[in-house]
Chain A
Amino acid sequence: MNGLQLGFVYALIALGYTMVYGIVRLINFAHGDIFMVGAFLAFYSIEKLHLPLPAVFALAAGGAAFLAVVIERVAYRPLRNAPKIAALITAIGVSLFLEYFTALHQVFGPNYYAFPRPFQVVSREVGGITVTNIQWIILLATLASLGALQYVVYRTKVGRGMRAVSHDHVTAGLMGVNVDAVIAFTFGLGAALAGVGGVLYGIAYPQINTFMGVMPGLKAFTAAVLGGIGSIPGAVLGALIMGLTETMTTAYLSSIYRDGIAFVLLIAVLLWKPTGILGKARTEKV
């Protein structure tokens, strides 16, 4: 159950990576830090503003989405037609900037903060497994986000635009899709999910600091690659595998191997299926 809990949080972050990659072929290294900003927004809205939980989620998701859209506009859009690596380096730059800027004393500060528990932890037994109410909330929030995402991507006009742009953005533009708006929307949507993930992570592992996004971000990205980047079910599947492997390793082997084992798994899967578990193999055209 702990593995699933971690896996669902990874899933929320992994979705942002996979959507952005699917649409602009960019590894958005700043995504893990947007997740961190989501957690901090939640921290302040509980600690200072005493908001109710749904409002906390809304604020974190909205703030993260706004930040991501601003970043996309300022840092990525001017590089859309530049070599891919330039955008990647910019993404690393944005990531470093977010980490160290928020670690300044004038912003969030470099310390660890205890994330306030908005409710009492209650565990109940369901069919022989102990489940805490935190895990219920994570499960429900993740499933709700997934449902909403599925609806947006497959049932709305902007979702159709997203699928079109990810297929071929030049043609999509010719067909009357507002490519820039769709890409900005994708960044925002992914970031909103990461913001929700940040809140859930804060509730489940109640200690936050401004560098907390690095490892979960990397693992979530790995999960997205594991499942087949660009594929939404793949991201969720990869994230669950990742969370379970990690928890199992800690439980049965030793926590020192925790960070390594996930990547051993990743390399093994990539060698077996070079585009991930659910990724489509593309034949190269000459």
Chain B
Amino acid sequence: MTTLKNIAKAVLPFAILSGLVQFLSGRDILNPYWVQIFQLACVVAISALGLNLIYGFTGLFSLGHAAFYGVGAYTAALLTKQYMGAYGEQAFFATGAVFLCSLLAGGVAAALLACLVGLPTLRLTSDYLGIATLGFGVIMKVVFDNADSLVPQLGGARGMTGIQRLTSIPWAVAALVAAILVIRNLVHSSYGRALIAIREDEIASAAMGIDTFRYKVIGFTTGCAFAGVAGGLYAHLYTFLHPSTFDFLKSFDVLMIVVIGGLGNLTGTLVASFVWVFLLEGMRVALPPEYIEFRWVLIPLLLIVTMLIRPRGLFGIREFPLLRGKVYR
């Protein structure tokens, strides 16, 4: 009973939020552009939560997050493209099921790759791990660029087109809620405590009997699976994929969101994702056309100022009540 209550408590705010956005867009109060941005913010938040698990909770410095995001996006897009036609256009449940399976497959693909990359590289420490994952990101960009020589549908450097638009507000919000629930419960489980222990002091946690390498692989793989699912949602939101979206520089965007929100802080990541996406896209509309390139001048300035004022992130260690654990803290 309490579990049901807890789930209801977590889902309710998001249901209200998505209902509100849905309602406003239905009445033409909110234009489609902003609705799309709202969905993008949900997608970015899922990916950022994944990186927060990797870097914020486990302390693994990963600079290759965008690569896993891309793997998820390409996998999911390829699957829906391949199997969607088979069940007819109108069958709602079949469409939904195929989409769900593709998203999960995107997550699994990203997780498998993360496992493959993580097994050798997670033995490296801090900055060296960062540069190795960054290198992996650059390698994956080259792979995406030349993917059409392996599978022609992936489009390679010309970009992948013809993806159906399947991501909608309910999908985006449901995925975000699921991501929050999974990560919150994971972080406050014995697994999560092991991950945090590794972040705080690897040697001490090894001495306490934690198999540090195994937990690091678990943390890294799970976080990357989140990126994969988010990538799948992204692919079916913009219906076009280009390798430059998954450039290594995009990994920095997610990293900045996580750090601005506060490492190991779920509230911060959520708020920072929404603020980041809305600032970035909002300035496109708010600034007069001749000043549009000032967008990327203002954002770094804001970023620097934020870091100078609050080096530990906007929220520090404060969390929304719903995201707090019972025992921990």
Contact = CB atoms under 8 A, between A and B. Distances in A.
Indicate, yes or no, whether A interacts with B.
yes
A89 B256 contact: yes
A286 to B, nearest CB: 6
A267 B312 contact: no
A90 B299 contact: no
Nearest to B253: A92
A270 B249 contact: no
Interface in A257-284: 257, 259-260, 263-264, 266-267, 270-271, 274-275, 284
A94 interface: yes
Interface string B287-329: 0000001101101110110011001100000000000000000
Contact of B138 (A92, A99, A100, A260): A260
B307 A270 contact: no
A78 interface: yes
A82 interface: yes
A86 B312 contact: yes
A264 B263 CA distance: 30
A92 B248 CA distance: 13
Interface in A72-95: 75, 78-79, 82-83, 85-87, 89-90, 92-95
A192 interface: no
Contacts of A263: 135-136, 138-139
Interface string A207-221: 000000010001001
Nearest to B201: A286
A266 B304 contact: no
Interface in B122-156: 123-125, 127-128, 130-132, 134-136, 138-139, 141-143, 145-146
A225 interface: yes
A214 to B, nearest CB: 7
Contact of A93 (B130, B135, B248, B307): B307
B307 A79 contact: yes
A247 interface: no
Nearest to B313: A86
B245 interface: no
A227 to B, nearest CB: 12
A122 interface: no
A260 B145 CA distance: 11
Contact of B121 (A85, A93, A267): A267
A97 interface: yes
A204 interface: no
B311 A259 contact: no
Interface string A79-122: 10011011101101111110111011100001000000000000
A85 B263 contact: yes
Given A92-B252, A284-B203, A78 B138 contact: no
B138 A259 contact: yes
A263 B64 CA distance: 13
Given A75-B308, A93-B303, A266-B131, A85 B259 contact: yes
Interface residues of B, number: 43
A266 B307 CA distance: 31
Contacts of B260: 89
Given A259-B138, A259-B142, A260-B138, A271 B125 contact: no
Nearest to A215: B138
A166 interface: no
Interface string B254-291: 01100110010000000000000000000000000000
Contact of B128 (A110, A221, A275): A275
Contact of B304 (A82, A90, A270): A90
B131 A97 contact: no
B120 interface: yes
Interface in A7-62: 25, 27
B131 A221 contact: yes
Contacts of B124: 270-271, 274
Interface string A153-180: 0000000000000000000000000000
A136 to B, nearest CB: 32
A222 interface: yes
Contacts of B311: 79, 82-83, 86
A25 B128 CA distance: 12
B255 A266 contact: no
Interface of A: 25, 27, 75, 78-79, 82-83, 85-87, 89-90, 92-97, 99-101, 103-105, 110, 214, 218, 221-222, 225, 229, 256-257, 259-260, 263-264, 266-267, 270-271, 274-275, 284, 286
29 contacts: A27-B127, A27-B130, A79-B311, A82-B312, A86-B259, A87-B307, A89-B303, A90-B307, A92-B256, A93-B256, A93-B303, A96-B296, A97-B304, A100-B296, A104-B293, A218-B134, A218-B248, A225-B131, A256-B142, A256-B145, A259-B142, A263-B136, A270-B121, A271-B120, A271-B123, A274-B125, A274-B128, A275-B128, A286-B204
Given A79-B308, A96-B296, 12 more contacts: A25-B127, A75-B304, A93-B307, A96-B303, A97-B301, A97-B304, A214-B249, A222-B135, A263-B139, A264-B139, A270-B131, A271-B121
